[in-house]
Amino acid sequence: MSKDKSLPYLSPELCGLAEGAKIVGDQWILLILREAFYGVTRFETMRSHTGITKQTLATRLKLMTELGLLSRIPYREEGERERYEYQLTDKSRTLAPVLLSLMEWGHKHVLHTAPHLTLVDSETGDPLHIGYVNTRGQEVKQNHVHIVPSTRG
């Protein structure tokens, strides 16, 4: 028996990380989600903020809508043709901790700068950080977090 205490092999199609990365591992999808979390809903504003081409943006928005990450809402400004806004769905809102963790990591380990944005509690204004919380609501230090096989069938 090996001294390696790693978990048994998990095929990619059963791995949430592998399957999730197929979707949110795309640079453009991440940037579109960033814009949507910032409140940007319109095609041209997303395009100008990200530098994405029109074709690539249209393709990603279509995919994200099909996957349920964005909802497509029609609108019409006076004298203009019908256009669409793209808004976050409940499904995409659950990605907030993932995206905010990646942002925090990028500031610390890639940019090596203080964050340009801060997460705060809307009621108290206290700064927040992404972390692990157990079922009793207590914060758990990262070195106490272990991955184990699920007991769910």
- pLDDT tens for each residue of 118-138: 889 999 999 988 899 999 999
Buried b (16+ CB within 10 A) or exposed e, 27-40: ebbbbbbbbbbeeb
Q: What is the pLDDT of residue 140?
A: 95
Dump pLDDT digits (tens) for 60-113.
999 999 999 999 999 999 999 999 999 999 999 999 999 999 988 898 899 888
pTM for the model stands at 0.82
Q: What is the pLDDT of residue 1?
A: 38
pLDDT at 4 over 80: no
pLDDT at 2 over 50: no
- Position 104, amino acid: E
**Tell me, what DSSP letter sits at residue 109?**
I
The widest CA-to-CA distance across the chain, in whole angstroms, is 74
Contacts of 76 (CB under 8 A, 6+ apart): 82, 83
Average pLDDT, the chain: 90
pLDDT at 149 over 90: no
> Which residues on adjacent β-strands are paired with residue 87?
71
Tokens standing for 110?
Answer: 């890639």
Alpha-carbon torsion, ordered 12, 13, 17, 18, to 10 deg: 60
Treating both helix axes as pointing N-terminal to C-terminal, what angle do 16-24 and 27-37 enclose, rounded to 10 degrees? 80
